[in-house]
Amino acid sequence: EKEGYDHFMLKEIHEQPRAFRNTMTGRIDEKGKKVIFEGLSLTSEQLMQIDKIFIVACGTAYHAGLVGKYVIEDLARIPVEVDVASEFRYRRPIVTEKTLVIVVSQSGETADTLAALREARRLGAKVLAITNVVGSSIARDADDVIATMAGPEIAVASTKAYTSQLVAFYLLGIYLAQVRETIEEGERISLIEALEKLPEQAEEVLSYSENIRTFADSIKDHKSLFYIGRGIDYAVALEGSLKLKEISYIHSEAYPAGELKHGTLALIEENIPVIALATQDELYEKMISNIKEVTARGAHVLGIALAGDTELHKSTDEVISVPSTVSLFTPALSVIPLQLLSYYTSLALGNDVDKPRNLAKSVTVE
């Protein structure tokens, strides 16, 4: 079933272009260049009324939610709060009939996410589930479902489910913007065109991402490393860091790059590996100066940049570039080298890549 790949994780990483295509299929009206969600029970009137969105999930799905916040706030201009399900369910979140709660779950069976969904409904909110399993408990209990079409995910470390959740958020962000008329037609058309290019761009990233192997070999004996980024890159840094922890068992932390000098910089010492994401044009100059702060202290830096970047090469040891797209869409591409980095590091350490210690694929108990 691994279709020639050594591990499910590697197979699933390579399935991402297809998962993107399948998640978009039937949801884009080619003529009008609009997003369509057939069978959605939430009416346009209800969507107009929403004054607040909560995105609630665990682990990697929570990280997808962090990207979702940027997307929805930027495109639809609705305030979004992202919460870990095990926190949301035990506090007194301010939820009303005008709140939309979006739960995100690959398996659709995560106990905390399911309990958060039920609590949100009890409080009167509408709940929309983004899930990979349409027959799951979460899909059944939600008012509406956007299915990610990633196909079964076997490896414990989530890859294609995460990026398919991102695609679902891109579609949803455009949809909400369409309904609430917060973006111009021209912008919508270019967003949809950019979205439709993502599968082939992901293929392109996969075709050269093996280069990450050398960096993986160089970090395998380290005790600790850092991922830094700003804006949406920070959300990707968190996911990259989690992926590494799960399967390589190496400690890592993700930091918003601007926060370094408020404490973490004290941990930057000679040769410590730092993975720096610099894909956001508007934050680029700031990122370059943050990178210089760590290289000045001897860090060994891998940069993730957009194709055509020239600056980053000067201030980092290695650069992996990803094709240019709309800045909100870069996470779907920039996370791929990070997934491969954790895969190859785990492999180099001789760990059980698909079944890391202490973890289960589906967390159905609290």
Smallest distance, ligand F6R to C-beta of residue 61, A? 4
Contacting ligand F6R (CB under 6 A), which of 42, 194, 268, 363?
363
For ligand F6R (CB under 6 A), the number of binding residues is 15
According to the binding rule CB under 6 A, does residue 247 interact with ligand F6R?
no
According to the binding rule CB under 6 A, does residue 158 interact with ligand F6R?
yes
Task: Give the integer Cα–Cα distance in Å for 333 and 16.
Answer: 10
Contacting ligand F6R (CB under 6 A), which of 105, 201, 290, 324?
105
According to the binding rule CB under 6 A, does residue 15 interact with ligand F6R?
no
According to the binding rule CB under 6 A, does residue 55 interact with ligand F6R?
no
> Which pairing describes strands 318-322 and 300-306: parallel, antiparallel, or unpaired?
parallel
According to the binding rule CB under 6 A, does residue 157 interact with ligand F6R?
yes
Partner residues linked to 42 by β-bridges: none
Compute how many other C-beta atoms are within 10 angstroms of the C-beta atom of residue 162. 29
Contacting ligand F6R (CB under 6 A), which of 22, 23, 60, 252?
60
According to the binding rule CB under 6 A, does residue 246 interact with ligand F6R?
yes
According to the binding rule CB under 6 A, does residue 110 interact with ligand F6R?
yes
Contacting ligand F6R (CB under 6 A), which of 61, 71, 75, 283?
61
Smallest distance, ligand F6R to C-beta of residue 127, A? 14
- Within 8 A by CB and 6+ apart from 79, the residues are 51, 52, 53, 73
Long-range contacts of 256-265 (CB under 8 A, 24+ apart): 256/228, 256/229, 256/230, 257/228, 257/229, 257/230, 257/286, 257/287, 257/290, 257/291, 258/230, 258/286, 258/290, 260/228, 260/290, 260/293, 260/294, 261/293, 264/226, 265/293, 265/294, 265/297
- Sketch the per residue contact string, 267 through 286, with ligand F6R: x for CB under 6 A, - otherwise: --------------------
According to the binding rule CB under 6 A, does residue 139 interact with ligand F6R?
no
Contact 338, 225 (CB under 8 A): no
How far lies 46's CA from each of 96, 267, 289, in Å?
Answer: 13, 49, 45
Residue 11 among the catalytic residues: no
- Within 8 A by CB and 6+ apart from 220, the residues are 248, 250, 345, 348, 349
Smallest distance, ligand F6R to C-beta of residue 145, A? 14
Active-site hit among 34, 286, 355, 361 = 361
* Closer CB to ligand F6R, 46 or 362, in the complex: 362
Catalytic residues: 361
Where on the chain is the footprint of ligand F6R (CB under 6 A)? 58-61, 105-107, 110, 113, 156-158, 246, 362-363
